[in-house]
Structure formats: structure tokens, C-alpha cells
Amino acid sequence: MKAQPTASHFVNGRYVEDTAGTPMDVIYPATGEVIAQLHEATPAIIEEAIIAAKAAQKEWAKYSGTERGRILRRTADIMRERNHDLSVLETYDTGKPYQETSVADATSGADALEFFGGLAASLTGEHIQLSGGDWAYTVREPLGLCVGIGAWNYPTQIACWKGAPALACGNAVIFKPSETTPLCALKVAEILIEAGLPAGLYNVVQGMGAVGGALVTDPRVEKVSLTGSVPTGKKVYAAAAADMKHATMELGGKSPMVVFDDANIEDAVSGAILGNFYSSGQVCSNGTRVFVQKGIKEAFLKRLTERLSTAIIGDPMDEATNFGPMVSENQLNIVLGYVEKGQAEGARLVCGGTRIEQPGSWITPAVFADVTDDMAIAREEIFGPVMSVLDFDTEEEVVARANDTEFGLAAGVYTSDLTRAHRMAAGFEAGTCFINSYNDAPVEVPFGGVKASGIGRENSKAAIEHYSQLKSVYVRMGETEAPF
């Protein structure tokens, strides 16, 4: 098989197998071929991972930040050296074109390892001077055992975005990849060990939601970080809260992109393409509700359809291909269902939305125009290549409509009036806003959502707050006074 790993799980510094677990086929989305066969983690594998992680974390917490950082930075270097192989694996796991994976996945994971590796030595506490010569100091301590649970669209990136800050802060990690894309995180674990990470600190266990559930509810786990859908997020957040565990929720969205009539149309079309069709539309922060000011609507649609007709849909391993398949047959059927629903609701299908009849899970990129706010395609996250174009007249109107959603992951605006751009950014109810751009996610900048789209932030210095906690130590220099 093309991508069979040494074993299903990576626990305590080595690959482990337990064939008693339910078999899991790994399917290459571009062809429908089974490329690997794994087994879901049994309770014995989960137990082994938790015991190893708890023991290893106690020692890891005693390392200096400099020592921890050095290992993470070495991991980043190895990932960059092996970018080609890791990108091919990411393409097998997800179906995303190599043209994308070679610049956006292992490299993004390496960025996180490098960034948090660099930050590790600077994670210090404070000295606080108090009255009468008393003083206090704070110590930034790790949380303990952090469980990461991944979605299927960015398996390498998600494994690193969770692992890097957790390890930098002195925690141990158990990562459960999505059952749809289980391969890449195993490589991350393997490279961390090669770079010098002590065994037991980064473990990968495979499985469906139930394996995630078993980890989230285990009392020995201190933190849970999920990347997934809002319904799963609600369940996982509730389970974490029941035990007062720390939680980060990176969830779904239905983000707005607003194009004013003074925008550079070519740039706005580029933003709409990036924000709807990159990774075949399987990006959480996508700007799938594209509000276009009425005066430029037809010009925008014309240029958009011209540019879409040049998309190269084909073998994801071919470097020329820039649009790949859906991750799975299941996801393809969900997307096809929304294309049907959009038409039934009266939206105008401008182009695409057709299943490509060949092995694998293929659909052409779809654009709907004349979409109204109440339509399912404008309200629900589709997580596929379906853009909804909505018309608007005024700035006040479009801000209110953009925010009229349970989600709040991202929002973007295209305009040449920069005062208006900043007003829009201030008005958007979203965790990340883009001005004359879309979907940038550099590691230096916090990433995460508001409202139903999530809790907490990944990347940047902000992530440190979500993987560590402060201990305050009060020091009295004089006598202790008591009332009696």
C-alpha cells in the first residue's frame, strides 16, 4: 500500500499496534484507492499513552525553556529538509494538490515549531513589589497533559499548531488525528523523537470520535484543544467543562467577505478565489458569503467566472494542478447536497457544482449569485467549494448582515477607502479580519474565533496563555499580623 505507516499509533517514542482495534481504511481522495490500513486505538493503547505522557511530562517540566526550544527548532529544521516527502504524504492524506501542500502544510507546521521553540526560553514570570517591602512573584507553569483532536483539512498543520505551544510550555501531548486523515501526525511524532524529544511527550492515537471522547473525559488530562465542527465543539467543550479542564475550541465558520465598489476588482476576485476554493474550499475561515456592492456585481461575476475557467483540476501530485478533490465521498455528497439546495432555494448557479465522473471525490468549483441571507447556502457551513455571492447597497446594511450569523471565525473587506476598511474591521464580529487580503495565517498572529466559532487562540504569543498557567507566590518580609 502506497502510504502504509509502520504502525497505527505512536506512543512513548515508538510505533505501536493493537490489531484488536476496529480497522480503519485510509483512502486517497483523488482515486478512491485504499492507501493504508490502520486500527482504532483500544483502551489499552489509550492507557499506555496516558501513562507514558504523564510520566514524561514531570521530567520535561524540569527542562529549561532553552533546552525545550532547541528540540522544537531542530524538529522544524528536519521538517523543512523533508518538505517534499511530508507534502506528498499530506496530499495522500487529504487529496490537496502538491502545489499547495508543498508550501502550506509541513512548512506551516515548521513555522509553529520554530516560533514556539524560539519563545520557550522567554516564558518567565514577574516580580511584583508590594507595600511594606513585601513582594510577590509569578511562575508560568505547564498545564500537564494536553489532548489535541484534529480535523481532516490540515493534518500536519493542526498536529503542530497544537503540539508546538504545548511542548514549549512544558506539557505532554496526546494527539488524535481525524479518522479521515490519520497519516501525517505520525510523521510529526517520529521527527520530534529524531530531533531529541524525550519519549512519551508527543503521542498519536488513532480513532473515531469515541477515542477523542475517552481522552477528553479522562481525569488525568488537564487540557483539551479541538479543531473541528461547532456541533463536536459543543460536546467536547461540555465534556471538558465537566472536569474544569482548560479548553481551546477552533471551530467552523460562515465568514463574510465584503467587496465595495471602489475595490480593486482583480484583487477582490483573487481574495474570493483564495477564500473559497483553496484546499477545494475545505478551510474553516473561508469567506463563503461574498457581499458585492450592487454597482460592480456583474463585473465581479464576469471576472470571477473567467478566472475560474482557468483552474487546473487533475492529478494532485502534478505540480500544475491547483484544484483537487473533496477529502472523502461523504464530504462530496454533503457539498453536492448544498448545490442542489441552493438551486431549489432560487439562487442562480453561475458555474460549477458538478460531480466529475471519475474515481475519487471530485466536484467543480461552484459560484451562486443572487443569494439571500435566509438561504441554507448562506447560513450553514458547507466546507466545500461553494461560493455564495450576495448583493448589498450600503456599509451600515452590510455590516449588520455580515454579523447576522452564529459564527465568528473570520471576515474580510476589499475597498480602497482605508478609513472605511478599519471601520469595517472594528464592526465585524470575528476573531480574524482581513483588509484587502484573505486567509493569511502567519504563526506570529493569533488565530481563532468568536461566538460559536470558538474559544481561545492558536499561534502567536496568545497561545502561551492557553498552554500554561500562572502561580502567584506572596512573600511577607515582616511579621504576620492576625486579628486575635
Ligand X SMILES: C[N+](C)(C)CCCC=O
Ligand Y SMILES: NC(=O)c1ccc[n+]([C@@H]2O[C@H](COP(=O)([O-])OP(=O)(O)OC[C@H]3O[C@@H](n4cnc5c(N)ncnc54)[C@H](O)[C@@H]3O)[C@@H](O)[C@H]2O)c1
Residues in touch with ligand X (CB under 6 A): 153-154, 283-285, 439, 441
| Residue 208's binding partner out of ligand X, ligand Y, none, with CB under 5 to 8 Å set by partner kind | ligand Y
175 binds ligand Y (CB under 6 A): no
Q: How many residues does the chain have?
A: 484
The Cα–Cα gap between 39 and 354 comes to 34
27 binds ligand Y (CB under 6 A): no
Judged by beta carbon, residue 293 or residue 460, the one nearer ligand Y is 460
| Residue 105's binding partner out of ligand Y, ligand X, none, with CB under 5 to 8 Å set by partner kind | none
Question: Three-state DSSP class for 8?
Answer: coil
Q: Which residues from 254-313 bind ligand Y, rule CB under 6 A? A: 284
| Residue 159's binding partner out of ligand Y, ligand X, none, with CB under 5 to 8 Å set by partner kind | none
Cα torsion angle, 81, 85, 91, 92, sign: negative
Question: Three-state DSSP class for 413?
Answer: strand
Q: Which residues are marked as active site?
A: 250
Q: Which of 381, 389, 402, 443 binds ligand Y (CB under 6 A)?
A: 381
* Min CB(8)–ligand Y separation in Å: 15
Q: Return the closest-CA partner of residue 313 out of 367, 266, 360.
A: 360
| Residue 235's binding partner out of ligand Y, ligand X, none, with CB under 5 to 8 Å set by partner kind | ligand Y
The Cα–Cα gap between 182 and 207 comes to 8
User: CA angle 389-391-393, nearest 5°?
Assistant: 155
Backbone angles phi, psi at 39, to 5 degrees: -125, 140
Q: Return the closest-CA partner of residue 308 out of 344, 343, 348, 350.
A: 350
* Min CB(439)–ligand X separation in Å: 4
Task: Give the number of other CB atoms < 10 A from CB of residue 261.
Answer: 15
69 binds ligand Y (CB under 6 A): no
Q: Which of 83, 138, 229, 364 binds ligand Y (CB under 6 A)?
A: 229
The Cα–Cα gap between 41 and 20 comes to 9
Q: Which of 252, 316, 342, 385 binds ligand Y (CB under 6 A)?
A: 252
The Cα–Cα gap between 252 and 232 comes to 10
* Min CB(473)–ligand Y separation in Å: 36
* Min CB(150)–ligand Y separation in Å: 5
60 binds ligand Y (CB under 6 A): no
* Min CB(108)–ligand X separation in Å: 6
Buried b (16+ CB within 10 A) or exposed e, 58-82: eebeebebeebbbbbbbbbebbbee
What is the binding site for ligand Y (CB under 6 A)? 149-154, 176, 178-179, 208-209, 212-213, 216, 226-229, 232, 235-236, 250-253, 284, 381, 383, 409, 449, 454
